[in-house]
Amino acid sequence: MPLHLPNAAPADAAPANAVHGGPTREAIRDAARRIGPHVRRTPLLRLSGTDLGLPQDIVAKLELLQASGSFKPRGAFNRLLSQTLPAAGVVAASGGNHGAAVAFAAQRLGVPAEIFVPEITGAAKRARIEGYGARLVVGGAAYDEARQASEARAAATGALLVHAYDQDEVLAGQGTVALEWQEDAPDLTHVLVATGGGGLIGGMAAWYAGTGVQVVSVEPEACPTLATALREGRPVPAPVGGVAADSLGARQVGARMFAVAKDHVAAAVLVPDDAIRAAQRLLWDAARVVAEPGGATALAALLCGAWRAPAGARLGVLVCGGNCDPGSVAG
């Protein structure tokens, strides 16, 4: 059920600090300077269509190689480094990757962290959070319950709440993925990005707005937060399920990302879980890259035909996380 939108900026538009609800390019540049000493500039890997069994080459950005195993430390560090941290430390709710990133950032900056996870969060993500020295709390059956528990805790202790996606500093931090990518691969015409709560694609679309680069959202059919919001014209609750729910299983997209996405996301497509599993296997077989389901979701759109590249397109595909049992990708 792909949803193609006609509203992306034309290719000849000049880059601009677009007027939208998301971060400005300058805020994203500031974030890059702020977080630079703490996060990795993740590498690109150019893969031939022949090697992938696809009609076109891709430029994969290997954000799974980021510290803590996903893009999330970019937003977490930008939030933590933008203010004076309370002695009570920081609190976050997370399906796992954001929690690991906040725990990692808190450890590096020397403040305590409490991370609220839903029951579906797997052993690999739990171990990572605790490995960074955070206190782990199971806060309910799904992400939304864990989020409510985390907000109550922050209100009670005075700790700084680090939202998984719907805060200005978080969007600006995640937008640094796009800043790096455009510097390192200025020839791309389209980038495919997985969407959960939307902090990543919101920050990236804010960076690319006005540049002519088309940002394509890919979501599991079982977690269609952005496609649903675009259809309804506002963020609304969507189903949460499927193989990528532990990283893409937000109940709905954030208001801040939606303000950007409604005008600056070129298409929002959905993929079935079996395409996500196939993308995980392909990344391992063709490139020895271990992506978690959410990390393989963007590539899945090319495998199952949910999105087709126009002639002459030069494609970027983001591999945004690798926090899974590595043995799970080869089956």
Q: Residues interacting with a second copy, by CB under 8 A?
A: 40-47, 50-51, 62, 64-65, 67, 69, 108, 284, 286-290, 322-323, 325-330
Shortest gap between Cβ of 113 and a second copy (angstroms)?
A: 18
Shortest gap between Cβ of 290 and a second copy (angstroms)?
A: 6
Nearer to a second copy, 47 or 160 (CB): 47
Shortest gap between Cβ of 110 and a second copy (angstroms)?
A: 13
Contact 233, 283 (CB under 8 A): no
Nearer to a second copy, 16 or 330 (CB): 330
Nearer to a second copy, 148 or 328 (CB): 328
Nearer to a second copy, 25 or 61 (CB): 61
Shortest gap between Cβ of 111 and a second copy (angstroms)?
A: 17
Q: Which amino acid is at 48?
A: S
HSE-CB for 112 with a 13 A CA cutoff: 11
The DSSP annotation for 229-277 comes to HHHHTS-------STTHHHH--SS--HHHHHHHHHH--EEEEE-HHHHH
Q: What angle do CA 22, 61, 194 make, to 5 degrees?
A: 50
Which of 9, 183, 213, 170 minimizes the C-alpha distance to 81?
170
Nearer to a second copy, 181 or 284 (CB): 284
Shortest gap between Cβ of 63 and a second copy (angstroms)?
A: 10
Shortest gap between Cβ of 248 and a second copy (angstroms)?
A: 18
Contact 261, 198 (CB under 8 A): yes
For residue 137, report the phi and psi dihedrals to the nearest 5 degrees.
-125, 130
Nearer to a second copy, 24 or 97 (CB): 97
| 190 beta partners | 214, 315
Shortest gap between Cβ of 287 and a second copy (angstroms)?
A: 5
Q: Name 302's Cβ contacts closer than 8 Å, sequence gap at least 6.
A: 54, 58, 192, 309, 315, 317
Nearer to a second copy, 24 or 323 (CB): 323
β-pair type (214-220, 58-62): unpaired
CA gap 106, 101 in Å, rounded: 8
Which of 226, 221, 207 minimizes the C-alpha distance to 301?
221
